[in-house]
Amino acid sequence: MFIHKYNNIISMENLLVAWEHFLCGKRKKKDIMIFQAKLSDNLNDLYNLLKARTYKHSEYSAFNISDPKPRNIHKAIV
């Protein structure tokens, strides 16, 4: 039962829906535009890694902001 649900969750359709939700407010960022340029290939690669259960999250990019207060941000790399 778990495998059936997992396969439904990681479907290409769900990955595309998740990508569309993720894009909100990020469309003009360079890393997003690079990923979007080869979206089909990138989502297919992600799907294959998830299906094989070999996906590993990439590193985070750290940076500081100071608006409205100083904060250290760690952003996932696309």
The predicted pLDDT at position 24 comes to 93
Q: Pairing relation of β-strands 71-76 and 60-65?
A: antiparallel
Spans of all domains in the chain:
2-76
Measured distance between the N- and C-terminal CA atoms of the chain, rounded to whole angstroms: 31
Alpha carbons 60 and 63: distance in angstroms, whole number: 10
The predicted pLDDT at position 45 comes to 97
Question: If the chain, 78 residues long, is cut into consecutive pieces of 10 residues, what is the mean pLDDT of each piece?
Answer: 86 97 93 96 97 94 93 90
The predicted pLDDT at position 17 comes to 97
Residues of 1-33 as b/e, b for ≥16 C-beta within 10 angstroms? eeeeeeeeebeeeebeeebeeeeeeeeeeeeee
Cis peptide before 70 (omega within 30 of 0): no
